[in-house]
């Protein structure tokens, strides 16, 4: 933990020498002596102004990240087992306790930077009061819900699973770092939230929390910091404030991004085998990373790497116990985006690549899927710029995977003779991604 923290501090001290400044707004006229354009606003322009006015309000700025995360945490409770299945399929024996210490890393580094004389948003007194209020709010909310909700942990150790306290602490300390140093350089915020995200993912890998616990914990951590700093602002007003964070961000010239991709994956129809025999598909989960580099405001190229699972059942033997189809994918292709306002955008993509199925037999003898295959995908998304270098995307992606199969005689599955052939796995994935914009 000591080595991780020292390395983290070294990177951020280096980042402080590269200050990040907002781009100058584009001039409305060719020069200062030009006559302003007095034409009436169009309906679209009036709509944009209303949206921007709402999204720049204080209440929205404090809640638009944390509240959706908490809502997402509650909404994913019914499907939390599907995400845990990914963990059990790929890393069932994962058990490392570094997340017990990693949750505090952003706070330790923030205090270290302050101690080394790197100027932050607040004075020592204002910062400590803001952080103390944030921690008190977070601890109160998390423990109240834990002892009220009484949700069992996935490992069955106790009934204090929802929400994740480690994740709440990690995102609280990351938000503190963002508040104090995020306007000096985006790398302070990027590094802090990366550490927080790793903490949350690690809680799931260690089988200590469900995905719903982690999402809700992240939201509570962020909301607690927002409220703590808001209360401190009321107490101190302008005293001890070195600089104020901007609320208006210029439109990105190149909306390149990289981020965490997560959603539910549903098979479309069934997978045809032979003589009326089919694999019926259900709803599974998909998680991975996605990124794209844009050459201009509209066109770019990129790719994604994901793992997923889709539950299946045999139509001729629905009682047969089959394991989900696990898939690992790596794809690349073209991305397009159109900015609707300074914060909202719509996008699409077309990708192709390689698909890998690690478990070919679905947990039983009789059906053998080809390990390697070709996959292509097309998707649409709605993007929102949360902060200067952070955004979220809500997506719906279609994928088609080509695979071959071999059937061998199986009394359990009712297969009388050997067969082989080709088929395709069609799936629709919907969900959200959290992205770093650069």
Q: Chain-wide mean pLDDT for the chain?
A: 85
| β-pairing verdict for 325-339 and 419-437 | unpaired
Instruction: Find the domain containing 215 and state its range.
Output: 2-16+49-236
Tell me the mean pLDDT in the region 49-67: 79
Q: How far is CA 371 from CA 29, 107, 325, 328, 375, in A?
A: 60, 45, 11, 10, 13
Of 422, 322, 308, 12, give the one whose Cα is nearest residue 187. 12
Tell me the mean pLDDT in the region 274-295: 89
pLDDT for residue 15 is more than 80: no
Q: What is the pLDDT of residue 12?
A: 46
Of 301, 300, 355, 374, give the one whose Cα is nearest residue 333. 301
Same domain, 156 and 273: no
The confidence band for 16, taking pLDDT boundaries of 50, 70 and 90, is very low
- What is the number of structural domains in the chain? 2
Classify residue 115: in a domain, yes or no: yes
Same domain, 231 and 290: no
3-class SS of residue 398: strand
Same domain, 154 and 99: yes
How far apart are the C-alpha atoms of 169 and 175, rounded to whole Å? 10
Classify residue 339: in a domain, yes or no: yes
Its sign, for the CA torsion 204, 166, 143, 94, is positive
Q: What is the pLDDT of residue 37?
A: 56
Neighbouring CB atoms inside 10 A of 2's CB total 8
Q: Retrieve residue 404's tokens.
A: 């071959």
pLDDT for residue 20 is more than 60: no
Same domain, 209 and 112: yes
Q: Of residues 364 and 266, which shows the higher confidence score?
A: 266
Q: What is the pLDDT of residue 338?
A: 95
The confidence band for 165, taking pLDDT boundaries of 50, 70 and 90, is very high
Share of the chain above pLDDT 70, in %: 88
Task: Provide the total of helices (H) and of strands (E) in the chain, helices listed first.
Answer: 11, 12
Domain stop point among 188, 203, 236: 236
Classify residue 96: in a domain, yes or no: yes
Same domain, 56 and 107: yes
Q: What is the pLDDT of residue 273?
A: 80
Same domain, 400 and 293: yes
Of 281, 312, 302, 314, give the one whose Cα is nearest residue 428. 281
Q: Retrieve residue 167's tokens.
A: 């994740």
Q: How far is CA 415 from CA 134, 151, 194, 313, 421, in A?
A: 62, 43, 49, 15, 15
Classify residue 247: in a domain, yes or no: no
Beta bridge partners of 334: 301, 350
Same domain, 156 and 210: yes
Q: What is the pLDDT of residue 251?
A: 60
Over the stretch 267-283, which tens digit does the pLDDT of each residue have? 888 887 877 788 888 89
The confidence band for 17, taking pLDDT boundaries of 50, 70 and 90, is very low
Tell me the mean pLDDT in the region 333-357: 93
How far apart are the C-alpha atoms of 228 and 346, rounded to whole Å? 34
Beta bridge partners of 266: 283, 428
The confidence band for 221, taking pLDDT boundaries of 50, 70 and 90, is very high
Of 205, 3, 7, give the one whose Cα is nearest residue 96. 205
Q: Mean pLDDT check: name the lowest of 152-156, 283-287, 329-333.
A: 283-287
3-class SS of residue 402: strand
Q: What is the pLDDT of residue 214?
A: 96
Domain stop point among 236, 269, 287: 236
Classify residue 72: in a domain, yes or no: yes
Q: Retrieve residue 134's tokens.
A: 């944030």
How far apart are the C-alpha atoms of 154 and 328, rounded to whole Å? 24
How far apart are the C-alpha atoms of 237 and 387, rounded to whole Å? 23
Q: How far is CA 326 from CA 292, 351, 356, 363, in A?
A: 25, 20, 8, 11
Same domain, 87 and 217: yes
Q: Mean pLDDT check: name the lowest of 211-215, 235-239, 319-323.
A: 319-323
Same domain, 225 and 274: no
Q: What is the pLDDT of residue 248?
A: 59
How far apart are the C-alpha atoms of 106 and 13, rounded to whole Å? 13
Q: What is the pLDDT of residue 201?
A: 94
Q: How far is CA 100 from CA 95, 103, 225, 326, 397, in A?
A: 12, 6, 20, 30, 35
Same domain, 163 and 280: no
Residue 369 phi, psi (nearest 5): -90, 150
The confidence band for 186, taking pLDDT boundaries of 50, 70 and 90, is confident
Classify residue 246: in a domain, yes or no: no
Classify residue 245: in a domain, yes or no: no
- What is the CATH classification number for the domain harbouring 433? 2.40.160.20
Same domain, 318 and 408: yes
Tell me the mean pLDDT in the region 126-143: 97
Write the CB contacts of 141 (distance below 8 Å, at least 6 apart in sequence).
220, 224
How far apart are the C-alpha atoms of 7 and 298, rounded to whole Å? 37
Burial (Cβ within 10 Å: 0-12, 13-18, ≥19) of residue 89? middle
H helix or E strand, kind and range, residue 271? strand 270-274
Q: How far is CA 26 from CA 22, 30, 251, 296, in A?
A: 12, 10, 10, 17
3-state SS, one letter per residue, for 76-125: CCCCHHHHHHHHHHHCCCCCCCCHHHHCCHHHHHHHHHHHCCCCCCECHH
Return the top range by mean pLDDT from 12-26, 217-231, 339-353. Answer: 217-231
Q: What is the pLDDT of residue 38?
A: 64
Q: Mean pLDDT check: name the lowest of 82-91, 126-135, 303-312.
A: 82-91
Of 172, 212, 165, give the one whose Cα is nearest residue 192. 172
Q: How far is CA 118 from CA 5, 128, 171, 429, in A?
A: 17, 16, 22, 44
Q: Of residues 230 and 437, which shows the higher confidence score?
A: 230
pLDDT for residue 122 is more than 70: yes
Of 206, 235, 255, give the one whose Cα is nearest residue 102. 206
Same domain, 183 and 286: no
Supply angle C-alpha 429, 60, 164, rounded to 5. Answer: 55
């Amino acid at each position: 933990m000591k080595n991780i923290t020292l390395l983290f501090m070294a990177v951020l001290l280096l980042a402080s020498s590269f200050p990040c400044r907002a781009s100058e707004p584009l001039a409305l006229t060719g020069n200062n002596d030009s006559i302003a354009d007095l034409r009436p606003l169009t309906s679209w322009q009036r709509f944009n102004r209303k949206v921007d006015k709402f999204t720049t309000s204080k209440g929205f700025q404090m809640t638009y990240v944390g509240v959706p995360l908490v809502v997402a945490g509650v909404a994913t409770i019914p499907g939390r087992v599907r995400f845990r299945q990914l963990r059990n399929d790929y890393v069932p024996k994962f058990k490392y306790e570094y997340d017990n210490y990693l949750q505090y890393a952003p706070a330790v580094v923030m205090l270290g930077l302050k101690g080394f004389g790197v100027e932050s948003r607040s004075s020592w007194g204002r910062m400590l009061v803001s952080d103390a209020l944030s921690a008190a709010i977070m601890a109160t909310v998390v423990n109240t819900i834990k002892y009220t909700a009484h949700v069992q942990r996935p490992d069955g150790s106790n009934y204090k699973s929802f929400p994740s306290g480690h994740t709440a602490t990690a995102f609280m300390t990351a938000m503190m770092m963002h508040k104090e140093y995020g306007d000096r350089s985006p790398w302070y915020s990027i590094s802090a939230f990366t550490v927080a995200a790793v903490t949350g993912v690690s809680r799931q890998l260690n089988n200590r929390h469900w995905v719903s616990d982690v999402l809700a914990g992240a939201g509570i951590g962020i909301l607690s910091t927002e409220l703590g700093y808001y209360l401190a602002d009321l107490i101190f007003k302008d005293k001890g404030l070195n600089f104020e964070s901007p609320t208006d961000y210029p439109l990105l010239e190149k909306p390149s991004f990289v981020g965490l991709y997560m959603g539910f994956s549903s098979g479309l129809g069934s997978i045809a085998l032979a003589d009326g025999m089919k694999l019926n598909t259900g709803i599974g989960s998909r998680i991975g990373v996605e990124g794209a580099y844009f050459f201009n405001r509209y066109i770019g190229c990129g790719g994604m790497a994901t793992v997923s699972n889709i539950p299946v059942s045999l139509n001729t033997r629905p009682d047969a116990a089959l394991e989900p189809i696990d898939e690992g994918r790596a794809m690349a292709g073209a991305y397009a985006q159109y900015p609707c306002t300074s914060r909202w955008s719509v996008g699409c993509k077309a990708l192709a690549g390689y698909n890998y199925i690690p478990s070919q037999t679905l947990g039983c003898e009789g059906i053998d899927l080809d390990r390697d295959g070709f996959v292509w995908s097309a998707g649409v998304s709605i993007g929102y710029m949360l902060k200067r270098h952070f955004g979220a995307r809500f997506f719906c992606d279609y994928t088609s995977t080509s695979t071959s199969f071999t059937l061998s005689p199986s009394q359990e599955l009712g297969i009388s003779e050997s067969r082989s052939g080709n088929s395709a796995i069609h799936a629709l994935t919907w969900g959200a991604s959290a992205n770093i914009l650069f």
